[in-house]
Structure 1
Amino acid sequence: MTSFKEFCRVCKVIEETAGSLDMTDLVSELFSLVTTEELPVVTHFVMGEVFPAWSDEEVGLGTGLLLNALSKSSGISVKKIEDIVRDTGDMGKTAVKALSKVSKGQATFSSFLDSPVELSIMEVFERFRNIASATGKGSQTSRIKHLQYLFNSASSEEVGYIARLAIEDMRIGVGEGIVRDAIAKAFAVPVASVERGYMLTNDMGLVAVTAKEGGDEALLNLGLQVGRPIKLMLAQVTPDIETAIKDLGIVAAEWKFDGARVQIHKNGDEITLYSRRLENITDSLPDIVSAVKKAVKANSAILDGEAVAIDENGRPKPFQEILKRFRRKYDVENKVRHIPLTLNLFDIMYLEGESLIELPLQKRREFLVSSVENSDLVRVDNQLITSDISEINSMYEQALRAGHEGIMLKNPDSPYSPGKRGKNWLKKKPVMETLDLVVVGAEWGYGRRTSFLGSYALACHDPDTGRFLPVGKVATGISDEQLSELTELFKEHIISESGTFVEIRPHVLFEVAFEEIQKSTNYESGYALRFPRLVHVRDDKSIEEVDTLERLDDMYMTQRK
Structure 2
Amino acid sequence: MTSFREFAQACKVIEETSGSLDMTALVADLFDSVTPDELPVVTHFVMGEIFPAWSYEEVGVGAGILFSALAKAAGISVKDIEELVRDTGDIGKTAVLALNKKSKGQATFSSFLEEKHELSILEVFERFRDISKVSGKGSQASKIKNLQYLFNSASSEEVGYISLLAIEELRIGVGEGLVRDAIAKAFDVPSEDVERGFMLTNDMGLVATTAKEGGADAVRGLGLKLNRPIKLMLAQITPSVESALSDMEEAAIEWKFDGARVQIHKDGDNVILYSRRLEDITHSLPDIVESVRKFVHADTAILDGEAVAIDGNGRPRAFQDILKRFRRKHDVSSTAKEIPLTLNLFDIMYLNGENLIEESLVKRRELLLSCVENDTTIHVDAQVVTNDLEEVDRIYTEALKGGHEGIMIKNPNSPYSPGKRGKNWLKKKPVMETLDLLVIGAEWGYGRRTSLMGSYALACHDNQTGRFLPVGKVATGFSDEQLTELTEMFSELIVMESGKEIELKPEVVFEVAFEEIQKSSNYESGYALRFPRLVNIRDDKSVEDVETIERIGEMYRLQRERS
**Cα distance in structure 1, aligned partners of 2:218 and 2:519:** 49
The alpha carbon displacement at 1:516 in A equals: 1.2
Change (3 A) 1:117 1:427: same
SS at match of 2:118: coil
Change (3 A) 1:269 1:446: same
**Cα distance in structure 1, aligned partners of 2:113 and 2:517:** 60
> What is aligned with 2:393?
393
Q: TM-score, normalised by structure 2?
A: 0.96
**Cα distance in structure 2, aligned partners of 1:16 and 1:525:** 20
260-269 or 327-336: which moved more? 327-336
The alpha carbon displacement at 1:468 in A equals: 2.2
Which amino acid in structure 2 is aligned with residue 227 of structure 1?
N
> What is aligned with 2:80?
80
SS at match of 1:101: helix
> What is aligned with 1:171?
171
SS at match of 2:409: strand
**Cα distance in structure 2, aligned partners of 1:370 and 1:492:** 47
**Matched residue count:** 560
**Is the contact made by 1:457 and 1:472 (CA closer than 8 Å) also made in structure 2?**
yes
Matches within 5 A, 1:10-49: 10-49=10-49
> What is aligned with 1:371?
371
> What is aligned with 2:540?
540
The alpha carbon displacement at 1:310 in A equals: 2.1
**Cα distance in structure 2, aligned partners of 1:41 and 1:164:** 15
Which amino acid in structure 2 is aligned with residue 122 of structure 1?
L
The alpha carbon displacement at 1:111 in A equals: 6.3
Deviations 1:106-147 (A, max 9, x none): 599x96994211001111011000110001111111111111
SS at match of 2:247: helix
Which amino acid in structure 2 is aligned with residue 204 of structure 1?
M
The alpha carbon displacement at 1:445 in A equals: 1.1
The alpha carbon displacement at 1:223 in A equals: 0.8
**Cα distance in structure 2, aligned partners of 1:334 and 1:448:** 36
**Is the contact made by 1:90 and 1:495 (CA closer than 8 Å) also made in structure 2?**
no
Change (3 A) 1:225 1:466: closer
SS at match of 2:102: coil
**Is the contact made by 2:47 and 2:171 (CA closer than 8 Å) also made in structure 1?**
no
**Cα distance in structure 2, aligned partners of 1:127 and 1:438:** 29
The alpha carbon displacement at 1:492 in A equals: 2.6
Deviations 1:57-78 (A, max 9, x none): 1111112211121122222222
> What is aligned with 2:297?
297
**Cα distance in structure 2, aligned partners of 1:467 and 1:122:** 26
Which amino acid in structure 2 is aligned with residue 481 of structure 1?
E
Which amino acid in structure 2 is aligned with residue 115 of structure 1?
E
Change (3 A) 1:362 1:374: same
> What is aligned with 2:521?
521
**Is the contact made by 1:44 and 1:205 (CA closer than 8 Å) also made in structure 2?**
yes
Which amino acid in structure 2 is aligned with residue 363 of structure 1?
K
**Cα distance in structure 2, aligned partners of 1:40 and 1:551:** 30
SS at match of 1:536: strand
SS at match of 1:277: coil
> What is aligned with 1:556?
556
The alpha carbon displacement at 1:519 in A equals: 2.3
Which amino acid in structure 2 is aligned with residue 526 of structure 1?
G
> What is aligned with 2:308?
308
**Is the contact made by 1:277 and 1:541 (CA closer than 8 Å) also made in structure 2?**
yes
**Cα distance in structure 2, aligned partners of 1:400 and 1:111:** 72
Deviations 1:416-460 (A, max 9, x none): 000000000000111101111111211111222222111011122
**Is the contact made by 1:74 and 1:106 (CA closer than 8 Å) also made in structure 2?**
no
**Cα distance in structure 1, aligned partners of 2:488 and 2:377:** 33
> What is aligned with 2:137?
137
Structure 2's unaligned 5+ residue stretches are none
**Is the contact made by 2:176 and 2:463 (CA closer than 8 Å) also made in structure 1?**
no
**Cα distance in structure 2, aligned partners of 1:247 and 1:213:** 42
The alpha carbon displacement at 1:334 in A equals: 2.3
Which amino acid in structure 2 is aligned with residue 489 of structure 1?
M
Deviations 1:293-323 (A, max 9, x none): 0011001000000111222322211112211
**Cα distance in structure 2, aligned partners of 1:15 and 1:492:** 28
Q: TM-score, normalised by structure 1?
A: 0.97
29-38 or 93-102: which moved more? 93-102
**Is the contact made by 2:259 and 2:309 (CA closer than 8 Å) also made in structure 1?**
yes
The alpha carbon displacement at 1:274 in A equals: 0.6
> What is aligned with 1:155?
155
> What is aligned with 2:287?
287
**Cα distance in structure 1, aligned partners of 2:500 and 2:292:** 48
The alpha carbon displacement at 1:348 in A equals: 0.2
**Cα distance in structure 2, aligned partners of 1:164 and 1:492:** 16
**Is the contact made by 1:69 and 1:148 (CA closer than 8 Å) also made in structure 2?**
yes
Matches within 5 A, 1:125-524: 125-524=125-524
Change (3 A) 1:526 1:181: closer
**Cα distance in structure 1, aligned partners of 2:114 and 2:541:** 49
SS at match of 2:308: strand
**Is the contact made by 1:89 and 1:495 (CA closer than 8 Å) also made in structure 2?**
no
SS at match of 1:102: helix
The alpha carbon displacement at 1:261 in A equals: 0.7
Deviations 1:362-398 (A, max 9, x none): 1000000111011111111111111111111111111
Which amino acid in structure 1 is aligned with residue 535 of structure 2?
V
**Cα distance in structure 1, aligned partners of 2:240 and 2:90:** 44
Change (3 A) 1:167 1:107: farther
Which amino acid in structure 2 is aligned with residue 292 of structure 1?
V
Of all paired residues, the percent bearing the same amino acid is 72
Is 1:119 aligned to residue 119 of structure 2?
yes
**Is the contact made by 1:307 and 1:344 (CA closer than 8 Å) also made in structure 2?**
yes
